[in-house]
Amino acid sequence: MAIVISRNDPAYDEAFLAGASVAFGVFDGVHEGHRFIIGEAVASAREEAARSAVITFNIDPDEVFAPGGLKKLMTNEARIAKLAELDVDAVVLLPFSREFAAQAPADFLEACFGGGAPRHIHIGHDFRFGDRASGNVADLRAWGAERNMEVHGHDLVAEGGEPVTATRIRGELAQGHVAEAAELLGRPYSVTGIVRPGRGDGRDFGFATANLEIPPMLNVIGPGVYGCYAMVEGARYKAAVSTGVPPMFADRTTANIEVHILDFDRDIYGQPIEVEFIEWLRPMIDFPTVDELIETTMGNIAWVRENL
């Protein structure tokens, strides 16, 4: 468990990262590739009995520079919380602003490490920073060479012959490939939403569904029916979940995730639910009758009960 500190905090010690071993990146998804790089930073810290840290932005720069159509695996809060669960001493947040990011590469590094350079810095070999992402690993090396900072530009971790990237994981999720996404993430993909009132049909069908509205940026999971776990009020339940606009009710709904929680009967309007996607079950179907929807969905619920 790491402490989370911001460079903007008046109590921040400028020399906090001097001599440390750090991993630097945005780390959306905190996936297997990210964990490898962070693990390397922890390993070089251990060798020198030095402090280990992750350096990241409080806000993903893409949200500022490329918001149109942007999809993300995690909110910034969830990303920072997940990074803080790792085996590093500290997560250092760089307060993101256009001005901060638009500095020339050397100024950017000075702003990050003015109080003393880390001894080791670990990044992916494609790492870019500073004004219009003009700084690269070679610039980092040149800057580090004068400050006894060793730069480790790692090859991206690969699975199945392809690098593990957040874009690749989003692509798998969009196709409903939740098992493949879990392999690349190192844990099941999950998303959190607040329960909103729906049309009230679910209960009449025999399976109440908690309706979650997910902001478009976080709506990466493809339409379909999934076997899941749902975290509700601190407990974990099996759940049968539909995502995407239900074709039978397309004209009457805005919800994009509907969660039937097994063995549960409480009013949870307004509560957050985290849904963990474990198994793809089937596509969304425009059934000719409601009876067929109910029969098939009851079968899906039974499958979840027996198999998760």
Ligand X SMILES: Nc1ncnc2c1ncn2[C@@H]1O[C@H](COP(=O)(O)OP(=O)(O)O)[C@@H](O)[C@H]1O
Ligand Y SMILES: Cc1cc2nc3c(=O)[nH]c(=O)nc-3n(C[C@H](O)[C@H](O)[C@H](O)COP(=O)(O)O)c2cc1C
* Residue ranges that bind ligand Y, judged by CB under 6 A: 198-202, 207, 209, 211, 225, 240, 242, 246-249, 253, 258, 260, 284-285, 293, 297, 300
Residue 78 phi, psi dihedral angles, 5° rounding: -65, -35
Residue 84 vs 285, nearer CB to ligand Y: 285
Q: Who's near 63: CB < 8 A, 6+ residues apart?
A: 70, 72, 76, 217
Count residues contacting ligand X (CB under 6 A)? 20
Smallest gap from residue 172 Cβ to ligand Y (A)? 21
**From the list ligand X, ligand Y, none, which binds 265 (C-beta under 5 to 8 Å, kind-based)?**
ligand X
Quote the strand ranges of 63-134, DSSP E.
90-94, 120-124
Q: For residue 277, which of 215, 219, 207, 234 has the smallest C-alpha distance?
A: 219
Separation of alpha carbons 200 and 205, rounded Å: 9
Smallest gap from residue 207 Cβ to ligand Y (A)? 6
Q: Does residue 269 touch ligand X according to CB under 6 A?
A: yes
The partner residues of 163 in beta bridges, in order of sequence, read 158
Q: Does residue 257 touch ligand X according to CB under 6 A?
A: no
Tokens for 119?
Answer: 């001894």
Point out the residue whose Cβ comes nearest to ligand Y: 198
Q: Does residue 300 touch ligand X according to CB under 6 A?
A: no
Burial class (CB in 10 A: 0-12, 13-18, 19+), 107: middle
Residue with tokens 């601190």: 234
Residue 22 vs 275, nearer CB to ligand X: 275
Separation of alpha carbons 188 and 182, rounded Å: 4
Q: Who's near 164: CB < 8 A, 6+ residues apart?
A: 31, 32, 33, 156, 157, 158, 184
**From the list ligand Y, ligand X, none, which binds 297 (C-beta under 5 to 8 Å, kind-based)?**
ligand Y
Residue 76 vs 211, nearer CB to ligand Y: 211
Residue 52 vs 209, nearer CB to ligand X: 209
Near ligand X in 201-240, by CB under 6 A: 202-203, 208-211
Q: Does residue 246 touch ligand X according to CB under 6 A?
A: no
Q: Does residue 306 touch ligand X according to CB under 6 A?
A: no
Q: Does residue 264 touch ligand X according to CB under 6 A?
A: yes
**From the list ligand Y, ligand X, none, which binds 249 (C-beta under 5 to 8 Å, kind-based)?**
ligand Y
Q: Does residue 245 touch ligand X according to CB under 6 A?
A: no
Separation of alpha carbons 223 and 211, rounded Å: 15
Tokens for 291?
Answer: 């009876």
The two beta strands, 90-94 and 52-57, are parallel
Q: Does residue 243 touch ligand X according to CB under 6 A?
A: no
**From the list ligand Y, ligand X, none, which binds 264 (C-beta under 5 to 8 Å, kind-based)?**
ligand X
Q: Does residue 273 touch ligand X according to CB under 6 A?
A: no
Residue 199 vs 266, nearer CB to ligand Y: 199
Q: Does residue 266 touch ligand X according to CB under 6 A?
A: yes
Residue 47 vs 204, nearer CB to ligand Y: 204
Task: Say if CB 75 and CB 190 are below 8 A apart.
Answer: no
Q: Who's near 43: CB < 8 A, 6+ residues apart?
A: none
Task: Say if CB 257 and CB 193 are below 8 A apart.
Answer: yes
Separation of alpha carbons 110 and 39, rounded Å: 25
Task: Say if CB 151 and CB 121 are below 8 A apart.
Answer: yes
Smallest gap from residue 192 Cβ to ligand Y (A)? 18
Which range touches ligand X (CB under 6 A), out of 16-24, 51-59, 112-120, 266-274?
A: 266-274
Question: What is the contact surface with ligand X in residues (CB under 6 A)?
Answer: 195, 197-200, 202-203, 208-211, 259-261, 264-269
